[in-house]
Amino acid sequence: MTPAFVLALGRAAAAELGGPLVLGRDPRASGPMLEAALVAGLLAGGIEVLRLGVLPTPGVAYLTGAYRARAGAVISASHNPYHDNGVKFFGPGGKKLADEREAAIERGLEASAPYREGGRLREAPEGAERYLDHLLAYAPDLDGMRIVVDAANGAAHRLAPTLFARAGAEVFAIGTSPDGRNINLGLGATAPETMARLVAELGYDLGVAFDGDGDRVILADRRGRIVTGDHLLYLHARVAGEPAVVGTVMSNLGLERALEEAGIRLLRAPVGDRYVLEWMEREGVRLGAEPSGHMIFRDRFITGDGMLTALLTLAALEQSGTDLADWVEELSLYPQVIENVPVADKQRVAAHPRLPELLAEAERRLGDGRVNVRPSGTEPVVRVMVEGAEAEAVREVAAWLATRIRSLE
């Protein structure tokens, strides 16, 4: 991800998507450099760019629709370490691009999109307040509630504490001092243990931890127990009385069985929020989530939004007269181990002819449980997920399978 590449990407995106285009980023160190390159490419493509500055990814998606822009873009590597970065594009209304439009941008890179006159840059600092107002419309009255907010030193570092304070809560904020290199470092949705510990130690009501670009959230109940996307999907499905919800192949087997007992179908999409949304739209389902805390409320917005998810969860608790701890106790998740196996060619390993044989043997060893192996979408690793009724068997099978997958290279 070099400035030269991002410059060319901007020109190709301008040719395919048109403008106006709203642009945001997270606070990682490479952001200003890549933002300058992307703006240059977009302007060279002859379109108008509305620059939002540092803003969560779902905020950029929302403002793409609110400004009636033809496209949106965000410079972020989400939950990844600071040294990674990427560019994500949205179409009208803030919806992620279809595969064919992404392919068209890639072809534009190869064809060297032409320079066009008319490009214009406009600053849009008011976008953050507009996004906050949108979120507050879904907030219950949090007067008297005490919340630990962990912003992961990411894109939500200003907005998240402000949001919950404006809704009436007493806020203890951490992860709000980004230096460009500490995004997602030991904090946030990928490392919620500090947030959860503070909730219990300080006697707060609950905690919320966002990832670096703010599209996912992990909660903690008043006892400091971590609440995942599986818990949230179960909670909302039960409170709303949904007949079916969409999870992924990584959703816990305990969730599937608990939903089944409640008369709710769990549909499993491939990993990735875009696939969750595709399945939701195809099946007419309103709720979908990944265990990582990325949740979509299709009747509210088409993009996962960590802060919106947290507010809607608090509203659901208020509506049902329950405490978050009640739902942690009601849903028994199976022990699960995820091993990230570094490989030189993750696609080759995932397509290896011996892999189905290894998976069948792993499931035989496991007994009551489930095994899933997939290439990571953002890292050079193959993710091995094993879950089952017996924790020791899960650990043993995960280690056994990870070792054999390394031998497939």
Note whether residue 113 is domain-resident: yes
List the domain range (segments joined by +) for residue 15: 3-127
CA distance 2 to 112: 16
Least confident of 21-25, 51-55, 107-111, 248-252: 107-111
One domain, residues 93 and 158? no
One domain, residues 259 and 164? yes
CATH of the domain at 169: 3.40.120.10
Least confident of 34-38, 59-63, 278-282, 378-382: 378-382
For 393, residues 6+ apart whose C-beta sits below 8 A from its C-beta are 365, 366, 367, 369
Residue 369 buriedness (CB in 10 A; 0-12 / 13-18 / 19+):
buried
**Tell me: the pLDDT tens digits for 349-363?**
888 889 999 999 999
One domain, residues 99 and 49? yes
One domain, residues 114 and 192? no
Note whether residue 200 is domain-resident: yes
One domain, residues 358 and 392? yes
**Cβ atoms 177, 150 nearer than 8 A:** no
3-state secondary structure of 123: strand
One domain, residues 91 and 32? yes
> How many CB atoms are closer than 10 A to CB 359?
16
Tell me 92's DSSP state: G
At residue 379 the predicted structure's pLDDT band, cuts being 50, 70 and 90, is confident
One domain, residues 283 and 250? yes
Note whether residue 109 is domain-resident: yes
**Tell me: the pLDDT tens digits for 159-202?**
999 999 999 999 999 999 999 999 999 999 999 999 999 999 99
CA distance 404 to 138: 48
Note whether residue 155 is domain-resident: yes
> How many CB atoms are closer than 10 A to CB 380?
12
CA distance 258 to 262: 6
∠ CA 393-396-402, rounded to 5°:
135
CA distance 162 to 1: 33
One domain, residues 113 and 247? no
**Tell me: the pLDDT tens digits for 296-351?**
999 998 889 999 999 999 999 999 999 999 999 999 999 999 999 888 888 888 88
Chosen domain end from 275, 299, 330: 330
Catalytic positions, written as ranges: 78
One domain, residues 221 and 277? yes
One domain, residues 59 and 207? no
Note whether residue 387 is domain-resident: yes
Backbone phi, psi, residue 156, to 5°: -95, 15
pLDDT at 303: 87
Note whether residue 133 is domain-resident: no
Note whether residue 132 is domain-resident: no
pLDDT at 322: 95
CA distance 12 to 5: 11
Return the biggest CA–CA distance within the chain.
64
In the chain, the number of structural domains is: 3
One domain, residues 395 and 303? no
Chosen domain end from 281, 302, 330: 330
Chosen domain end from 284, 307, 330: 330
β-strand partners of 401? none
Residue 325 buriedness (CB in 10 A; 0-12 / 13-18 / 19+):
middle
C-alpha atoms less than 13 angstroms from C-alpha of 272 in its C-beta half-sphere: 10
Counting other chains too, the contacts that 367-376 makes at CB distance below 8 Å and 24 or more residues apart are 367/393, 369/253, 369/334, 369/393, 369/394, 369/397, 370/253, 371/397, 371/401, 372/249, 372/250, 373/401, 373/405, 374/249, 374/271, 374/350, 375/346, 375/347, 375/349, 375/350, 376/340, 376/346
CA distance 309 to 286: 13
What is the C-alpha radius of gyration for the chain, rounded to an integer number of angstroms?
A: 21
∠ CA 94-95-100, rounded to 5°:
135
One domain, residues 56 and 176? no
Please check the confidence at residue 112 and state whether its pLDDT lies above 80.
Answer: no
β-strand partners of 171? 147
β-strand partners of 75? 25, 87
